[in-house]
Chain A
Amino acid sequence: MSEVNRRLAMLAAIWAVLILAPLWMPLVGGYTALGTRVLVLGLGAMSVNFLLGFTGVLSFGHAAWFGLGAYGCGLLLKFVALSTPLGLLAGTLLGGILGGLLGALIVRRRGVYFAMVTIAFGQVFYYIAFQWSSLTGGDDGLRPFYRQPLHLGVATVDILHGSTAFYYFVLVSFALATALMGFILRSPFGRTMLAIRENERRARFLGIPVEMHIWIAFTLSCFFMAFAGSLYALLNNFADPRGLHYSQSGDFVMMAVLGGMRTFWGPLLGAVVFVMLQDYISSITINWQIFIGLFYVACVLFFPRGVLGILRRKATT
């Protein structure tokens, strides 16, 4: 099979699995809402990976944009208008724009510094969400708001009561986001990002405005992240401060690493494993945290390239 055909076949396989999920999930003991959760968190992990795997910049506070997206969506649905698409738009804009603004401030830092600053920003938003309880509901969370039916012109889809309908809605959103992501990565801009990841100094020597590129990549990943956050708010009909906390960020980074940091679909796979593992283990033991912690440690030590990384290695040797 030629390279292109192989790639197309793989894409087809992935999408077949995703599209048919509500059918095969109950057969293996899953449930549709779990699949929706995997998609949303997977998109979050892919957004982190957009920055981490493809530009080489570590942000450990990226959940801030995720949480902001959730709050933006919720606030719009609760106070402004009963419209799901507008909610998504509001959330995406809130997280993305704030991310862009703050990103401009920190773009000169790298490595550990950058990571710690992102944690700081995330925590500031966390406290704002927590304290501004008149607006955000504080610790009780932002509620009530509900996903609104979609008016598609020809039909109205009730995504509130039907788990399956909502799953497909999220799948379509996911598809749009990942298509856009893939498009960007394939573009000359995307290539430049890779160049920066591989050797920043050399990229600079070539005249590439490195900071500008990093800032744009950061902002784009914030937009994607905020979009994922908006979907998360719709999934739960809820937004709460914990979505902004750095431990949530840690989860996303973990999913990206687990699945394979430098691959496109890796983070989705990481999300699959992570969410299902957590779901499964936390049902059989109260002490699931220690297993997850050991799992993190094992992954870092033995699978730093993630599942896909290993499999690809095997495929090429």
Chain B
Amino acid sequence: MKRPYHAAPLSRRTILKAAAAAGVAQFAAPFVITARAADAVKVGMIDPFTGVYAAVAQNELIGVKFAAEQINAQGGVLGRQIELLVEDSANDVGTGVEKARKLIERDGIQFLIGDVNSAIALAIAQVSNEKKVLHIVSGGHTDGITGKDCHWNVYRVCNTTKMEANSVAELLFNKYGKKWHFITPDYAFGHTLQEAALADLKKFGGTMTGNELTPLGTSDFSAYLIKARAANPDVLLVLPQGSDMVNCLKQIAQFGIEKQIHVAGLQQELESLKAMPPEARVGIWMFEWYWKQPGVPGVDKFVADIRTRSAGKVPTARTWFGYTSLMSFALVANREKTLDGVKLAKALGDFELPADVKLQPNKCYYRKGDHQLMTSAFVGQALKEGKSDPEDLFQVDSIVAGDKTSPPESETGCTLQWPA
């Protein structure tokens, strides 16, 4: 006999069972995770540990964890130990926002780090701003975070696209030529990167021979490289990131393009270089931080410490971002002797990083007007093989200070509105 299906007749037991099941799942959760000291200072980190940014996010986590270890060994923050709560945003905005609310509303974090994905960083910044929690964006590069979308509680460690373009552009123009061809990943970050570089090119008086917009996730760049070759530029700027960058450079090497045209780009990362075969490691790039800095205090020790915590791998720029983010919080909290979000955010403006945190030769500080860290750009060339170390894949030619590459505060479009 057929049952009518339109509104399921549920037995009482059904509902109770279902609710109990759901409740138990949540009930068990805090108990499993709570081996915590009740007195700890809770710090949250949201990053995409699954998905295309996984490798980068995991390196960031290594940096954050190391920082937590160091801080706790030296007495913690205001005498209390730091407890690090890590959540996966899974490269999805909805998940990121949910985790942000979870960390802030349920777990009561005092400080938030994240996200590598710019869109998620912006979304969770809205949540942290609403709840007045100090938030450092460790790895999201879109200019708006310290530009038109800036918030009083949000600071950023990694470079803006303008900073990246400004660091490399002059070198490329003077050394290689005035006709540039762009391969640009077709999403917001890619566009801003290209616009920044183009602005510099125009300033110097060069010309753009073409701009190939490549959809994100393109694995085959041959069509675009055919067009680029036909345009006969002096410099080919490769702007895609991550695996798109890897594929593009591989194909450039396979087609022998670097023999005719100078290959360059803006941001490059050790994670990408490691994923390429040696012949693809060509070109002029900038790194946001590099592990081999002979003579710079603190770097060798940092590298050695990270190696023991990451199965022998060296720290990348991302590791340093994570490390710096948490150290900044701890340093400013201990100096101001408070955990209040507003006071800390005010104190972080113009805060200068000490030598053992900044790990670079130039002065490194958070600018007050737009909350951007004035960190240096490491400009140099990719190396096919590491000479002294298999991970030494980049030769640093110059280290340009952050406040030289960054446009002035008035040009970023950031107006900070502090709470009354």
Check whether chain A touches chain B (CB < 8 angstroms). yes
Q: How far is the CB of A38 from chain B (nearest CB, A)?
A: 9
Known: A29-B29, A138-B187, A240-B119. A34 touches B12 (CB 8 A): no
Give the chain B neighbours of A277 by CB distance below 8 A: 25
Give the residue of A29, A33, A139 whose beta carbon is less than 8 angstroms from that of B119.
A139
In the complex, the answer to whether B22 meets A272 with C-beta atoms within 8 Å is yes
- Stretch in A112-120, A149-157, A208-216, A307-315 touching the partner: A307-315
For A308, list chain B residues within 8 Å (CB).
Answer: 8, 10, 14, 18
User: Do A190 and B6 touch across chains, with their CB atoms under 8 A apart?
Assistant: yes
With beta carbons under 8 angstroms apart, the residue of A163, A269, A286 that contacts B18 is A269
- A144 lies within 8 A of B106 (CB): no
A276: interface (CB < 8 Å): yes
Q: Does A92 sit at the interface, judged by CB under 8 A? A: no
In the complex, chain A residues 243-295 whose Cβ is within 8 Å of any chain B Cβ:
243, 260, 262-266, 269, 272-273, 276-280, 282-284, 286, 288-289
Q: Is the Cβ of A264 less than 8 Å from the Cβ of B126?
A: no
Residues in A neighbouring B97, C-beta threshold 8 A: 235-236, 238
Q: Taking the complex as formed, is B189 at the interface, i.e. its CB lies under 8 A from any CB of chain A?
A: yes
Do B12 and A10 touch across chains, with their CB atoms under 8 A apart?
A: yes
On whether A138 and B15 interact (CB within 8 A), knowing A33-B101, A186-B6, A283-B87, the answer reads no
CB pair A240 B87 closer than 8 Å? no
Give Cα A279–Cα B27 distance, bound, in whole angstroms. 13
Stretch of A97-105, A129-137, A220-228 that contacts chain B: A129-137
Q: In the complex, are the beta carbons of A282 and B102 less than 8 A apart?
A: no
Closest to B9 in A: A7
Report how far A76 CA is from B17 CA in the complex, Å. 42
A-contact bits for B38-56, CB 8 A (1 contact / 0 none)? 0000000000011000000
CB distance from A129 to the nearest CB of B (A): 11
Shortest distance from the beta carbon of A211 to any chain B beta carbon, whole Å: 22
Known A265-B10, A312-B11; further 15 A-B contacts with Cβ < 8 A: A10-B9, A17-B15, A25-B26, A29-B27, A31-B101, A31-B105, A37-B94, A127-B215, A140-B189, A141-B123, A163-B101, A238-B126, A276-B26, A282-B99, A315-B13
CB-based contact A140/B98 at 8 Å: no
In the complex the two chains form, what is the Cα distance from A243 to B58 in whole Å? 25
Quick one: given A32-B105, A236-B123, A238-B97, are A186 and B7 in contact (CB under 8 Å)?
Answer: yes
Decide yes or no: A282 and B88 within 8 Å by CB, A141-B93, A243-B94, A269-B18 being known contacts. yes
Chain A residues near B50 (CB, 8 Å)?
286, 288-289
A-B contacts, 6 of them at CB < 8 A, read: A6-B11, A31-B101, A130-B216, A143-B149, A237-B123, A308-B10
Query: Is A30 engaged at the interface, CB distance under 8 Å to the other chain?
Result: yes
Q: Please indicate the chain B residues that have their CB under 8 angstroms from the CB of A282 in the complex.
A: 87-88, 90, 95, 99
| Cβ of B191 to closest chain A Cβ, rounded Å | 7
- B187 near A242 with CB under 8 A, answer no
- Among A30, A186, A235, the one with the most B-chain Cβ atoms within 10 Å of its Cβ is A30
- Does B35 lie at the interface of the complex (its beta carbon under 8 Å from any beta carbon of A)? no
Q: How far is the CB of B88 from chain A (nearest CB, A)?
A: 5
A139-B7 in contact (CB<8A): no
Choose among B7, B10, B23, B88 the residue that contacts A286 (Cβ–Cβ < 8 A): B88
Distance in Å from the Cβ of A155 to the closest Cβ of chain B?
22
User: Given the complex, which residues of A lie within 8 Å of B99, measured CB to CB?
Assistant: 282
* Interface set of A (CB-CB < 8 Å, partner B): 3, 6-7, 9-11, 13-14, 17, 24-26, 28-34, 37, 54, 127, 130-131, 133, 137-141, 143-144, 161, 163, 182, 185-186, 190, 194, 232, 235-238, 240, 242-243, 260, 262-266, 269, 272-273, 276-280, 282-284, 286, 288-289, 307-308, 311-312, 315
- Closest residue of chain A to B122 (Cβ to Cβ) is A143
On chain A, the residues within 8 Å of B15 by CB distance are 10, 13-14, 17
User: Which chain A positions have C-beta within 8 A of B98?
Assistant: 33-34, 37, 279
Flag whether B5 is at the interface (Cβ < 8 A): yes
The answer to whether B94 touches A31 (Cβ under 8 A) is no
Does B73 count as interface, using CB distance less than 8 angstroms?
Answer: no
CA distance A282 to B46 in the complex (A): 11
Known: A31-B102, A182-B7, A236-B93. A139 touches B188 (CB 8 A): yes
Give the residues in chain A near B5, CB-CB below 8 Å: 54, 194, 262-264
Q: Closest approach, in angstroms, between the C-beta of A102 and any C-beta of chain B?
A: 23
Nearest CB of A to B267, in Å: 16
Collect the chain A residues with CB atoms within 8 Å of residue B311's CB: none
The verdict on B30 contacting chain A, using a C-beta distance below 8 Å, is yes
Q: Which chain B positions have C-beta within 8 A of A10? A: 9-12, 14-15
Distance of A14 Cα from B92 Cα, bound (Å): 30
- Does B142 sit at the interface, judged by CB under 8 A? yes
A-B pairs with lowest CB-CB distance, top 4: A139-B187, A263-B8, A33-B101, A140-B188
Q: Are B26 and A28 closer than 8 Å at their CB atoms? A: yes
Determine the residue in chain B with the shortest Cβ distance to A38.
B22
When chains A and B are docked, how far (Å) is the Cα of A133 from the Cα of B7?
A: 43
CA distance A66 to B126 in the complex (A): 22
Docked pose: A137 CA to B216 CA in angstroms:
15
* A144 contact set on B, CB distance < 8 A: 126, 149
Q: Is residue B223 within 8 Å, beta carbon to beta carbon, of the partner chain?
A: no
Instruction: Say yes or no: is B186 at the interface (Cβ < 8 Å to chain A).
Output: yes
Q: Which positions 103-150 of chain B face chain A at CB distance < 8 Å?
A: 105-106, 118-119, 122-123, 126, 130, 142, 144, 149
Any chain A CB within 8 A of the CB of B32? yes
Interface centre among B12, B18, B87, B99 (most CB of A within 10 A): B18
Question: Do A141 and B186 form a contact, CB below 8 Å, given A28-B23, A279-B98, A289-B50?
Answer: no
Give the CA-CA distance A139 to B217 in the complex, in Å: 12
Please measure, in the bound complex, the distance between the C-alpha atom of A286 and the C-alpha atom of B58, giving whole angstroms.
Answer: 10
Give every chain B residue within 8 A of A262 (Cβ-Cβ). 5
Chain B residues contacting A194 (CB-CB under 8 Å) are 5-6
Which residues in A have their C-beta under 8 angstroms from that of B19?
17
Pick from A138, A139, A269 the residue with the most CB of B within 10 Å. Answer: A139
**Per-residue interface assignment for chain B, residues 274 to 285, with 1 indicating a CB less than 8 Å from any chain A CB and 0 otherwise:** 000000000000
User: Are B106 and A182 in contact, with the CB atoms below 8 A?
Assistant: no
Once bound together, how far apart are the Cα atoms of A307 and B99, in whole Å? 27
Whether A133 touches B126, Cβ cut-off 8 Å, given contacts A10-B12, A139-B216, is no
Q: Which of B6, B87, B191 has the most CB of A within 10 A?
A: B6
C-alpha gap A232/B98 in the complex (Å): 11
